Amino acid sequence: MKNLAARVPWTLVVFLLALTIPWLGGRYYTFLATQIVIYALFALSLNLLLGVTGLVSFGHVAYFGIGAYFCGILMKTLGVPFFIAFPAAGLGTGLFALVFGYFCVRLTKIYFAMLTLAFSQIVWAICFKWNDVTGGDQGLPDVPFPDLHWIASLPGFSHFRIGDQFYFLALVLVMLCVAALRRLQSSPFGRVLTTIRENRERAAFVGVNVRRYELAAFTVAGIFAGFSGALFGIFNRGVFADYVFWSKSADVMIMTILGGMNHFWGPAVGAAVLTILNQQITSYTEYWPFVLGTILVLLLFVFPGGIMGALDAGWTRLRHRRSNA
């Protein structure tokens, strides 16, 4: 059975299922799905550090924010079309991650975490104050939508509004990024990153240049966070300083742990569950943080492997029972 599960091209299956949402649901569901897709990429990019390399970054939001501003400034201020601004935002963010990461990987454990947090607060302060470029506390409203009218000319897509069109675009771009991340994690490079997570000392003494690999992972994670931020800015029709605020680093970390950082799809599942719960529960009660806290406590004590870890364990138990029967 396990072989069967391994042979399913999950990226493709997830993509096809997600593609049907604008047909099945209304505008609200498409809106929610867009948000989930973007956050899923953000959480997956964090997990390259957290779950794969074993680096706890408290400042991952910096790269989400830089990507959002990069793309927003290019498109709004400079009038650059989306298909150039989007890749440029990712690469530009990667450059920032490379520079910040150069200093961060010199430290380990809590000191590494604190330095990533410090850099993200510096980025936030600059975004908040540099009025001429970032719009300061007013942010950058009215980032233009990419020109997606061509989607309406595809057969079967003619009745979709601009929100649905953007969802299709975001879904395709995120899925390409996810496929690349998945490939990366099962490559020799990805395997080396896991040896650092498992045992830095031993990794160094099979010949791994630990800092250099950590810097590479940090940069790649920054690039993909930048892509997700770029999409988020357009999705929200504007880029604002609170995208870079440190509490968002905690949100994305909660998504990753909730979904399960030992499983490739865990962070994406966490992003979906947390986004949906947030929407549902805030419509009943204003005590969402209380509910979230309770969920987290339960999770850490009952399912330390997150949702995917719990599903995995349940599946294994089921198979055992069946083979014993």
Partner 1 sequence: MLEVTKLGKSFSGFVAVGDVSFTVETQQIAAVIGPNGAGKSTLFNLITGHLPPDSGSVVLDGRDITGIQPHKICGLGLGRSFQRTNIFPRLTVFENVQAAYLVHRGRGRDFWSRAESFYRDETAVLLASIGLQGRESTVAGTLSYGNQKQLELGLALASDPALLLLDEPTAGMSASETHDTIALIEKIASERALTLLFTEHDMEVVFQIAQKIAVLHQGRLIADGDPAEVRADPEVRRVYLGEH
Q: Residue 145: exposed, middle, or buried by beta-carbon count in 10 A (0-12, 13-18, 19+)?
A: middle
**Binding partner 1 by CB under 8 A: which of 190, 273, 288, 291?**
190
- Exposure of 21 in the CB half-sphere (CA atoms within 13 A): 23
Q: Is 91 in the site for partner 1 (CB under 8 A)?
A: no
By CB under 8 A, what part of segment 168-187 binds partner 1? 183-184, 186-187
DSSP 238: E
**Based on CB atoms, which residue is closest to partner 1, 52 or 254?**
52
Interface residue with partner 1 among 88, 91, 152, 208 (CB under 8 A) is: 208
Instruction: Indicate the SS3 state at residue 140.
Output: strand
| Residue 78 binds partner 1 (CB under 8 A) | no
Q: Does 210 bind partner 1 (CB under 8 A)?
A: yes
Q: Strand, helix or coil at 263? A: coil
Stretch that binds partner 1, among 95-103, 107-115, 195-203, 236-244 (CB under 8 A): 195-203
Q: Binding partner 1 by CB under 8 A: which of 116, 195, 228, 249? A: 195
Helices (H), ranges, 155-209: 162-185, 188-198, 200-204
Shortest distance in whole angstroms from residue 223 CB to partner 1:
12
CA 82 → CA 26, 37, 43, 88, 235, distances in Å? 26, 18, 23, 9, 13
Query: For partner 1, which stretch binds (CB under 8 A), given 64-72, 85-93, 193-201, 291-299?
Result: 193-201
Do 104 and 115 meet the contact criterion of CB atoms below 8 Å apart?
Answer: yes
Contact residues for partner 1, defined by CB under 8 A: 183-184, 186-192, 194-195, 198-199, 201-210, 213
